[in-house]
Structure 1
Amino acid sequence: MSAEAPPKPLPFHFQFLAGAIAGISEILTMYPLDVVKTRAQLSTTGNVGIISSLKEIIQKEGPATLYRGIAAPIFVEAPKRATKFAANEQYTTLYKKLFGLDKITQSLAIATGVSAGVTEALIIVPFELVKIRMQDPTNAALYNSTSDALRKILKKEGPLALFNGLEATIWRHAAWNGGYFGVIFGVKELLPKAKTKNEQLANNFVAGAIGGTFGTMLNTPMDVVKTRIQGYTGGGPKKYNWTLPSLALVAKEEGMGALYRGFTAKVLRLGPGGGILLVVFDTVSTFMRKHFM
């Protein structure tokens, strides 16, 4: 029996749309954990439990605070997640031709993931910075809304301030995407071949969740210093500037464990979130192949 033919590649605009739908589905579901993660990373005094953090935020600041700053990531989520998947598909096609490969290997999956992560990072930096500023509880009285935060950052710090943390963001996304897509390839090779649509969805969720968890393990230290760099509002000396020196500084002053501050909330978001991303992206892609190609 001949091997099943690989699915037809989607045109770029369909890849982009499928990635956008997947990304927005994930962020609407998992965003409160991102708020908890950011606050933990900004703290220099130790870890606080997820449940206790959620309860404290709701009691002291109200439930709406769990979605404070979501406008910026929602606005960028379409191009961000669309870029993640569409760029990964485009880099896959490019690298297969460049290296004379006729099928995807795990090394290729890692390389395309890293390349897609760098591309994604270049797009999202300003939106990430505004989101971090909005999620920081010390800024609650400073910014009234996402648009207000953007206006005040531009007025006080200048346009280039929106790109603070670019280098750290590149490190963060290159590590996560390389781990995510590389592990997805490996896990799918190990899982029993799906015979039904439900089994295919289950395989995608398992592979995506494991990939998201591994990517989070790789990139959390870079995410911690990215948050610290982007959280600087211009008051006093700038303590964190570049990724590697900042990693060393946090480890020296607060211990190695501080580089994984907020990890539990982050992995609870991006583990299942990675599964949601892959399931929705694959489902939407399959629908588009069936009805529009």
Structure 2
Amino acid sequence: MSSNSHRNQDDVLKSSDSTAWFRSYLHGGTSSLISTMTTIITFPLYKTVFRQQLHSTLVREAVAQLFKEGPVKLYRGVAPPLLMRSLNGTLLFGLQDTFLHQLPLFSTTPLPRNALPALAGFGAGVVEALLFTPFERVQNVLQNSRNDSRLPTLRSILLKLASRPLASGYYTAFLPILVRNALGSSLYFGLKGPMSNTLRDNGCSPVAASFMAGVLNSVVISLPLYPLSVLVANMQAQAEGGERGVRSSWRRLWAARQHRLSLLYRGGFLVILRSCVTWGITTAIYDQLERHSR
């Protein structure tokens, strides 16, 4: 009787664990799906920044380029980030929660409790880079107006990239994306809890604290990692020529920016502003769903 009781308790615990993990995937996907509305609204802003990253132009010059191309082409390339954003939240929050529960079981030495969210976030960022680099590659080729005549449709771009080796096709710039995503996710999950708790202790409501934690987190992450995004955009924008390595691509980019950080960070303010809004909303919705489920 006692053994059956213990077995039933174990089954209940396993069931509750799996339910909790499924909930984190569901809540991550829901929060990201809702925040994709900001992706649609701010996509022209994102495209303006992309032109600045690629051509080192001023805001007014990038806007003039987009205005000249017309409204039909303004949203060319919006499909990959929409799809990526929805899937990204599902996997990022879900995988981080899964790793968070599994890390202590596979570690031979006790891991610091405060470091677990950051370590789990690092692992989630690695998986994210593996899965979503092709999406980012297609998006950057689509957004580069110089590809419009040779590769006018999404299908033509997919076929072109599929005809090339992975390293110069779909997985061009994988290494900088891996570093950016792994570090970014590690910082996000490592800082989110402490920031939110500090804000609540200072009188913020739970929703406001989560939103501000997402905003502040975004600033902390975006500022140092922005040059990697510029490097990725320049490496991935051409459908051909992806054979150039990270080091040579960086040297070429740094020379094109006249060895000046101010030119390298051109468009950075707009990216950080967009990221703050998106991650503030995503964090607030996710944390609210988690609170209600508990």
Report if TM-score (shorter chain) is over 0.5. yes
Answer whether contact 2:144 2:238 (CA < 8 A) is retained.
no
Structure 1 residues 143 and 11, CA gap change in structure 2 (3 angstroms): farther
8 Å contact kept, 2:36–2:86: no
Q: TM-score, normalised by structure 2?
A: 0.80
Which of 40, 45, 54 is matched with 1:42 structurally?
Answer: 54
Gaps of 5+ in 1: 1-7
Q: Deviations over 1:155-186 (max 9, x none)?
A: 4x355511111112101211221222233233
Q: Distance in 2 between matches of 1:177 and 1:231?
A: 24
Map 1:133-172 → 2, pairs under 5 A: 133-155=141-163, 157=164, 161-172=169-180
Q: Partners in 1 of 2:45 and 2:88 — Cα distance?
A: 19
2:274 aligned partner: 269
Aligned length: 270
Q: Is the 8 A contact 1:116 1:177 kept in 2?
A: yes
2:3 corresponds in structure 1 to none
Equivalent position amino acid for 2:37 in 1: L
Check whether the contact 2:58–2:266 (CA below 8 A) recurs between aligned residues.
Answer: no
2:233 match: secondary structure: helix
Tell me, yes or no, if the aligned pair for 1:222 and 1:247 is still in contact at 8 Å: no
Equivalent-residue separation in structure 2 for 1:231 and 1:240 (angstroms):
13
In structure 2, C-alpha distance between the alignment counterparts of 1:281 and 1:232, rounded to whole Å:
36
Q: Distance in 2 between matches of 1:130 and 1:166?
A: 13
Q: Does 1:121 align with 2:129?
A: yes
Cα distance in 1 between the residues matched to 2:264 and 2:123:
24
Deviation of 1:286 after TM superposition, in Å, equals 4.1
Counterparts of 1:11 and 1:185 in 2: how far apart (Å)?
18
Aligned alpha-carbon RMSD (Å): 2.8
- Unpaired runs of 5+ residues, structure 2, are 1-15
1:188 to 192, 196, 218: 196
- The residue number in structure 2 matching 1:4 is none
Question: Which residue of structure 2 lines up, in the alignment, with residue 33 of structure 1?
Answer: 45
| Counterpart in the other structure of 1:203 | 209
Does the Cα contact within 8 Å between 2:51 and 2:62 map onto a contact in 1?
Answer: no
How far did 1:77 drift?
A: 2.7
What whole-Å deviation, never above 9, does each CA across 1:177-205 have from its counterpart, x for those lacking one? Answer: 1222233233123213498xx92111110
User: 2:219 maps to what in 1?
Assistant: 213
| TM-score of the two chains, using structure 1 as the length reference | 0.80
Larger radius of gyration: 2
Taking a change above 3 Å as real, the CA distance of residues 109 and 12 of structure 1, as seen in their structure-2 partners, is closer
1:174/1:59 CA distance change after superposition, 3 Å: same
Q: Is contact 2:95-2:124 (8 Å) kept?
A: yes
Amino acid of the residue matched to residue 241 of structure 1?
G
- Whole-angstrom CA distance in 2 between matches of 1:150 and 1:239: 18
